[in-house]
Chain A
């Protein structure tokens, strides 16, 4: 069979028809920077940071949207490529307020990485001022338009990944802006606060409100776990600082959610820190609860169950297990009822 090959930075590599130059490069360990490209979505070719040189082509081509072709000769790191990427980066830096000191995403920002990678120590253009105020009116997502580089990843995340169709590009030229609905705040639009836009944003233009100033990328350890809400079983990365969850993101490429979450999985984590938590065993006396030690409470429960079983038989005790807690807890509870109390009166709300 005729194999599909091209030359990438001087090396012969194989590819499958339909793959983009970017995919071929990634598969061969060559890293091309990208900004607007969102995996699995239609390439928009908007940011031009992924430009590469293809022999015979007059101008540089966007690797994220150009299909690989047989016999192509591709160079990803030429001077011309570097100069262009550097210039693009400078334009982006000048397009708004990119003062990393105050930015939540510092240390995990694609623009910051690009500036460093292309050795930019001074921006040669005047910084534009964006005519839009921050939006801080909902409990979960802050929109900072001064940091938005209009890459459109959030729009793709909303339109193509989650298909919530809440946001799109609005206005033109210096007034360009990502708008929700007819340019209303998120909470007045069709937005369902899945936060997929947030996860897709490469800079600090969309940030988690609850996580603001709680710990940047370098301050946190990521712990993988499973969402505590519905039966889909989405995989989460808990961003943990000093044993406290400060933020949640979706695990990319994990089964089943493939980097997606909903409002509950992404923002519903901090109930565990509520001041309402039960922190000590409680025993009711004369209609009021009083605090008790573990031994006292456990002894009382054991004695009561013994007494009732002795008097009325094993069928007089019953247990309802929890469909929210871990398997091991449910296993243990049914074992207690069956092996110790000798009762099959164990159930949970399997039906609701």
Chain B
């Protein structure tokens, strides 16, 4: 997030696109609802009539995967009707002419068919957006989980720059991060191209710095593989050994049948986990790990806030902290690492090596955490980025992009679009929530369909239905809901049985390698 949750409260307008906030980020949604009750405007853009629709001034129900076309059309209107922030565009950005040329090819009349929204409504949305400043734009996986995910993200940034909503309190582009520490895992360099603090592995100076700090030579300069490439590498023999820490890839990755084949192909698979999962079945060695509240450490939230996690008890049996496990392997390779606790790792290594975290030390985050960038120990942390239009690389760059449809679209054989997401009571593959009583409230997966489609296929609420795609099939109960538009099936991946990932398409954004969980083609029928 460029901005902070605390800014929700004073925001004057929100545009929420592809974010089922009340279920995926419930507490954030309460601050948004408070602001709306106090008069803030809300524009909700979503293929589903999700719970926030009741609070929206304008609910724009676009078709799955039409985001870029829609956003380009909004920008078309803003430019054509002269409603954009010329001062901001002139002084803080570059690339406006290319953007203008591009979005001129997206007049509302043309886009209307692609996104299923009338030209009038597109114009109305653009005008409303331009009428209040600043506007806080929030998105989640509805934007990123597409083959055009990266372009979707760039489009949201284009829009906010065009409106001059960057670098201001209660504005900005705010991706709500899914997991508690997905932000932190990125910050720590658990990415194939960067060291901690986003220092590029390709940069010789960065390598020299880390070689010195770690007492090694010859750090590799070529960015490594991303998860989908690793998985394909297992099948092709390019990758021989895989170490999976915590993730339950056998349920979370698209096309379970393919993923399981890949996992089974590994010459050697190691897992660290707290529970046996569908993924650990394929392991050759499983290390039992300490869980949340069994170790001291930090996690970094969506708003770049580094918060403390505290230990309450020892891990059960012989389970050990994960950092300890990695350290023991290093030792067997002849590397003696000195840090011997979360605090030593953070205070003596992480915050020393990552400039944006330099000012964050355990003693400073006893209570509220600090938001990076926090370059020194006197620094109060940073609530919002790009203050007064100052982008890290100078000017904000417009990246004009074209709309592309999802990799797989409905046809005669598979007439429905399957879109996936999360439900309130469970978290991912339920390894945790199923063991905390939530199954009582939400006991099984359902296929959410519109009453309209249910009627035409003679399906009643609670009937078992067969849903199949080119990759697999599941049998689940149907849940009839007006939230879902005709032509759509909506599911989650919380349960092994009826897991949407038996169906989803392993098609990825070419740059980010994010899978297209939000769109594939399926068919469905009542199970007799």
Contacts and interface: CB of A to CB of B under 8 A. Distances in A.
Interface of A: 138-140, 160-163, 187, 192-194, 210, 223-235, 238, 240, 243-245, 254-257, 260-265, 267-272, 274, 276-284, 289, 292, 294, 297-302, 304-306, 308, 311-312, 314-352
Given A320-B230, A351-B149, A338 B302 contact: no
Interface stretch (B127-135, B154-162, B164-172, B326-334): B326-334
B363 to A, nearest CB: 15
A228 B435 CA distance: 14
Interface in B183-230: 183-193, 195-196, 201, 210, 214, 216, 218-220, 222-227, 230
A317 B298 contact: no
Interface in B115-138: none
B335 A339 contact: yes
B355 to A, nearest CB: 15
Contact of A318 (B243, B283, B284, B438): B243
B409 interface: no
Contacts of B513: 351
| Of A234, A323, A328, most B-chain CB atoms within 10 Å | A328
Nearest to A257: B27
Contact of B323 (A228, A284, A324, A332): A332
**A-B pairs, 9 with minimum CB distance:** A279-B317, A233-B301, A326-B297, A322-B246, A344-B224, A231-B177, A262-B26, A351-B514, A302-B332
A328 B323 contact: yes
B394 to A, nearest CB: 26
Given A324-B292, A340-B330, 19 more contacts: A140-B437, A161-B30, A192-B26, A194-B26, A224-B367, A230-B427, A240-B312, A243-B314, A271-B433, A277-B316, A279-B319, A302-B333, A317-B240, A323-B247, A325-B289, A326-B181, A344-B223, A346-B192, A348-B182
B368 interface: yes
Interface of B: 4-6, 22, 24-28, 30, 33-34, 37, 55, 141, 144-145, 149, 176-193, 195-196, 201, 210, 214, 216, 218-220, 222-227, 230, 233, 238-247, 249, 252, 267-268, 270, 272-276, 283-289, 291-295, 297-303, 305-310, 312-314, 316-323, 325-330, 332-333, 335, 337, 342, 345-346, 349-350, 367-369, 424-425, 427, 431-438, 440-441, 509, 512-515, 517
Given A271-B436, A321-B245, A329-B323, A223 B330 contact: no
A347 B292 contact: no
A161 B222 CA distance: 50
Nearest to B9: A258
A174 to B, nearest CB: 33
Contact of B185 (A274, A278, A321, A344): A321
Nearest to B493: A352
A334 B196 contact: yes
| Of A162, A231, A345, A349, most B-chain CB atoms within 10 Å | A231
Contacts of B239: 315-318, 345
| Of A138, A210, A225, A234, most B-chain CB atoms within 10 Å | A225
Contact of B335 (A240, A274, A340): A340
A332 B340 CA distance: 11
Contacts of A257: 27
B244 A320 contact: yes
Contacts of A315: 224-225, 238-239
Contacts of A284: 283-285
B307 A226 contact: yes
A250 to B, nearest CB: 9
B77 to A, nearest CB: 31
| Of A193, A324, A340, most B-chain CB atoms within 10 Å | A324
Nearest to B335: A340
A231 B297 contact: no
Nearest to A221: B312
A337 B289 CA distance: 19
B245 A320 contact: yes
A330 B318 CA distance: 21
A276 B435 contact: yes
8 contacts: A187-B441, A226-B308, A232-B5, A277-B317, A346-B191, A348-B191, A349-B182, A350-B182
Contact of B285 (A227, A301, A345): A301
A297 B55 CA distance: 54
Contacts of A345: 192, 224-225, 230, 239
A223 B310 contact: yes
Given A262-B27, A268-B432, A329-B323, A338 B220 contact: yes
